[in-house]
Amino acid sequence: MSAPELVDDHRCFACGPHNAEGLHLDFVPDGEDAARSEVTLPPRLQGYRGIAHGGVVMMLLDEAMAHACRFAGEKAMTASCEVRFRKPVPLGAKLVMRGHVKERRRKVLYLEASLTLEDGTLLATAEGSFVSLGRL
């Protein structure tokens, strides 16, 4: 079975502008090979009362790393991701996510991401590897 063609139809749940239920995250460059975005999570993404579901937190960190790849000029897909939950992620509070490329080896990019409150309080971190599908 061959790999499917990857098409960005702008319906990504995290960042797609054409997904009515999506988060519409807007990433901007944040230094060299890095990305930044802000979001306030709605109640529908709850795990325990008032706290974001862990899978949503993982998605935010993964998305920050994916956009760091984009700002580094690479079209890439997640190969692996390890998340460390440091504090509960509150719903209804402004959150800041950042991702940056730490290293590149051939077709693999190694990244880090963080999720903080607006005041800098660290909520979660991630380390991931992404496979390059080619230069943008």
Compute CA 28 distance to the chain's CA centroid, rounded to the nearest angstrom. Answer: 12
φ, ψ dihedrals at 49, nearest 5°: -50, 125
Per-residue model confidence as pLDDT tens for the chain (136 residues): 555 677 889 999 999 999 999 999 999 999 999 999 999 999 999 999 999 999 999 999 999 999 999 999 999 999 999 999 999 999 999 999 999 999 999 999 999 999 999 999 999 999 999 999 998 8
37-to-2, 40, 107, 119, 120 alpha-carbon distances in Å = 34, 11, 26, 14, 14
Domain definitions of the chain by residue range: 29-135
Contact 126, 82 (CB under 8 A): yes
Q: Copy the structure tokens of residue 49.
A: 């009362």
Task: Confirm or reject CATH 3.10.129.10 for domain 29-135, answering yes or no.
Answer: yes
* Residue 90 tokens, joined: 């509150």
Look up the pTM and report it.
0.95
